[in-house]
Amino acid sequence: MKEVSTVSESAIEGLPLIHRGKVRDVYQVGERQLLLVATDRLSAFDCILPTPIKNKGKVLTSLSNFWFNRLSHITENHLITTDFEQMPDAVRRNESLRDRSTLVKKTKVFPVECVVRGYLEGSGWKDYQATGSVCGYELPAGLVQCSKLPEPIFTPSTKASAGHDENISVREVENIVGKETADKLGSLSLKIYDEASRFALSRGIIIADTKFEFGLDEDGNILLIDEVLTPDSSRFWSAETYAPGKAQPSFDKQFVREYLETLDWNKQPPAPELPFEIAEATTERYIQAYELLTGKTF
């Protein structure tokens, strides 16, 4: 196998870095484009770990690319290319950016995280326990942690630039983006989830919930942007071992979380290094998710 190097932080001479997220570095390309670089950073318990996960950025890039293409009959998206040869020169000079870079149309991002939940976990499970409902949807009594919902629900949240995202009602989304756009974001999100979750299930993966982002292009079209249906933006569970009534092992970060729980680390930065075997096993999990979903060898 070809030697692969990991990328924890990218730097591109000649392109302005406009955002360094938990996982991705975002560069401005001309007036109308962005370059999204998926690094090998991994976050767990909301902390970025110092140990990079080999190939993770490449897996995330290919997987989003796969979904953008697969879902293009439902929604337009921001994708221009992931083909390295078609990237600007400033990018192509950095071999380490190959297969982890996505050139996209720059949009005006709607400040709403479009979350769809098909199962009850995370903040949805918390809300349900407290109120019997999630984001204003009344749910049947007697659901347990990780129960499948009667039908998927759209549970948007704010896109907080700092701190945690906060669940908001559909009414609040209407106040932020207007009724017509709010309706579109909700119905697109549910349609995408419906199609993708059926497909994933046929490949042995439950998409318990996921988060989409949308933006407006120059011509006023709503585009699906950001990353799509990756382990970083979704909860993936193994359909084979799914058992409601308790937390499900997370498909990708299971070993990392289990390992970190054995330490007496207080879950505040700085996070500890991962042992080699844990990092390797995590790479394998990302690749496995990719291969199951796409049916291709990584």
Ligand X SMILES: Nc1ncnc2c1ncn2[C@@H]1O[C@H](COP(=O)(O)OP(=O)(O)O)[C@@H](O)[C@H]1O
Stretch that binds ligand X, among 64-72, 105-113, 245-253, 265-273 (CB under 6 A): 105-113
Asked whether position 93 contacts ligand X by CB under 6 A, the answer is no
String of DSSP letters for the chain: -------SS---TTS-EEEE-SSEEEEEETTTEEEEEE-S--EETTEE-SS--TTHHHHHHHHHHHHHHHTTTT--B-EEE--GGGS-HHHHT-GGGTTSEEEEE--EE-SEEEEEEEE--HHHHHHHHHHSEETTEE--TT--TTPEEEEEEE--EE--SSS---B--HHHHHHHH-HHHHHHHHHHHHHHHHHHHHHHHHTTEEEEEEEEEEEE-TTS-EEEES--S-TTTEEEEETTT--SSSPPPPTTTHHHHHHHHTS---S-SSPPPPPHHHHHHHHHHHHHHHHHHH-S--
Contact residue for ligand X among 54, 56, 58, 78 (CB under 6 A): 78
Asked whether position 60 contacts ligand X by CB under 6 A, the answer is no
Min separation Cβ 38 and ligand X, Å: 8
Asked whether position 103 contacts ligand X by CB under 6 A, the answer is no
Task: Specify the residue, 121 or 232, whose C-beta has the smaller distance to ligand X.
Answer: 232
Asked whether position 121 contacts ligand X by CB under 6 A, the answer is no
Sketch the per residue contact string, 34 through 53, with ligand X: x for CB under 6 A, - otherwise. x-------------------
Task: Specify the residue, 226 or 252, whose C-beta has the smaller distance to ligand X.
Answer: 226
Residues 52 and 41: their CA atoms lie apart, in Å, by 5
Stretch that binds ligand X, among 103-111, 129-137, 168-176, 285-293 (CB under 6 A): 103-111
Closest residue (Cβ) to ligand X? 21
Contact residue for ligand X among 8, 17, 26, 174 (CB under 6 A): 26
- Which of positions 194-213 make contact with ligand X (CB under 6 A)? 213
Min separation Cβ 267 and ligand X, Å: 18
Task: Specify the residue, 114 or 205, whose C-beta has the smaller distance to ligand X.
Answer: 114
Contact residue for ligand X among 106, 117, 235, 253 (CB under 6 A): 106
- Which of positions 211-250 make contact with ligand X (CB under 6 A)? 213, 215, 225-226
Task: Specify the residue, 56 or 248, whose C-beta has the smaller distance to ligand X.
Answer: 56
Asked whether position 19 contacts ligand X by CB under 6 A, the answer is yes
Q: Smallest Cα–Cα separation from 260: which of 249, 246, 274?
A: 274
One-letter amino acid of 215: G
Residues 228 and 114: their CA atoms lie apart, in Å, by 11
Asked whether position 117 contacts ligand X by CB under 6 A, the answer is no
Task: Specify the residue, 209 or 213, whose C-beta has the smaller distance to ligand X.
Answer: 213
Positions that interact with ligand X (CB under 6 A): 19, 21-24, 26, 34, 78, 104-107, 109, 213, 215, 225-226
